[in-house]
């Protein structure tokens, strides 16, 4: 018999509380215990083979003390890095930045905008029409997200700990179709962009994820790509060269990073730099792909 939802919630809360406590004791201990539960195999930090094992090694040995990693994982502070790399043209125009929800001047915000916290994942508000936005509900949601100042403890992502919290408001990128533009997540190994993960259809429920190589050939290395019919293709972005060039420029200092971009009306916009995708324990990634990506990353 399936447990009631409230009991499942208690079990989940206690489970995460245990691992958050482990992080306070030792981020390494948290990682060693949590990794096999999520991935299904023991973590080997002495001789890592998969991409996720190597991400864990980097996370534990350098990310928390690397000022450039900390800056670039910050969705606000990274804007300065983008400028320093000569890529200002990629930045989504900034409307405002606030320290707390109470500071937001809602009347001054334009009719359409995108709002996000600079830390964590998924703390985003996409507003294509402010007249239809429930501002009070949005305030509550942003406050709830902002209170989670220790979310880094869940997976011992210590590079998020030192970030000063910031609310970032940027121009709304209006695609030709739908509400949100396609997302191009480029996996870069030792400064070289190798694979592009296209995320499309977010507004329609579960999005689709398709991998392509740098020549825009479908790479059947994840579930959606494998399930795609014979002869499947997706329109090659006219700015593919710009996407790859930008990823190469921005990833150059890092051993591994996923550089995320949007394309709107043929123009490339920077999204974010992600050093620990899915906290470095992506149990949706196929094991053979994890091993292949691991071989591409030289520590």
**pLDDT band at 151, cuts 50/70/90?**
confident
Tell me what pLDDT residue 204 has: 65
Tell me what pLDDT residue 203 has: 66
Residue-by-residue DSSP string for 218-280: B---SHHHHHSPTT---PPPTTHHHHHHHHHHHHTT-SEEEEEEEEETTEEEEEEEESSGGGG
Q: Are strands 113-117 and 124-127 parallel, antiparallel or unpaired?
A: antiparallel
Task: Tell me the chain's radius of gyration from C-alpha atoms.
Answer: 20
Average pLDDT, the chain: 93
109-138 pLDDT, tens per residue?
999 999 999 987 888 999 999 999 999 999
60-75 pLDDT, tens per residue?
999 999 999 999 999 9
264-274 pLDDT, tens per residue?
989 999 999 99
State the Cα–Cα distance between residues 222 and 220, nearest whole angstrom: 6
176-195 pLDDT, tens per residue?
776 678 899 999 999 999 99
Q: Is the pLDDT of residue 145 over 80?
A: yes
**pLDDT band at 15, cuts 50/70/90?**
confident
Q: Is the pLDDT of residue 2 over 90?
A: no
* DSSP reduced 3-state for 294: helix
Q: Which helix (H) or strand (E) holds 79?
A: helix 78-84
* DSSP reduced 3-state for 163: coil
Residue with tokens 């919630």: 9
Domains of the chain: 44-77+178-299 (3.30.470)
More confident residue, 236 or 17: 236
38-94 pLDDT, tens per residue?
999 999 999 999 999 999 999 999 999 999 999 999 999 999 999 999 999 999 999
């Amino acid at each position: 018999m399936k447990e009631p939802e409230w009991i499942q919630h208690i079990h989940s809360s206690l489970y995460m509380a245990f691992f958050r406590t482990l992080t306070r004791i030792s981020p390494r201990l948290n990682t060693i215990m949590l990794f096999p539960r999520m991935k299904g195999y023991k973590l080997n930090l002495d001789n890592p083979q998969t991409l996720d094992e190597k991400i864990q090694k980097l996370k534990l040995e350098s990310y928390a003390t690397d000022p450039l990693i900390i800056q670039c994982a910050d969705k606000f502070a990274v804007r300065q890095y983008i400028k320093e790399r000569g890529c200002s043209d990629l930045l989504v125009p900034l409307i405002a930045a606030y320290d707390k929800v109470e500071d937001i001047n809602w009347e001054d915000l334009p009719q359409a905008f995108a709002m996000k916290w600079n830390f964590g994942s998924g703390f985003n508000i996409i507003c294509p029409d402010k007249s239809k936005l429930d501002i009070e509900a949005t305030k509550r949601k942003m406050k709830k997200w902002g209170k989670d100042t220790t979310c880094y403890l869940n997976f011992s992502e210590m590079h998020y700990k030192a970030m000063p919290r910031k609310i970032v408001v940027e121009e709304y990128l209006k695609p030709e179709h739908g509400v949100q533009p396609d997302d191009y997540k480029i996996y870069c190994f030792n400064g070289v962009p190798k694979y592009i993960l296209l995320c499309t259809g977010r507004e329609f429920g579960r999005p689709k994820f398709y991998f392509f190589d740098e020549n825009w050939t479908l790479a059947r290395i994840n579930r959606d790509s494998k399930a795609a019919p014979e002869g499947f293709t997706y329109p090659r972005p006219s700015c593919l060269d710009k996407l790859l060039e930008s990823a190469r420029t921005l990833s150059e200092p890092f051993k591994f990073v996923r550089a995320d971009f949007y394309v709107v009306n043929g123009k490339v916009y920077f999204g974010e730099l992600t050093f620990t995708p899915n906290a470095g324990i992506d149990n949706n990634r196929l094991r053979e792909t994890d091993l292949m990506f691991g071989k591409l990353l030289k520590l």
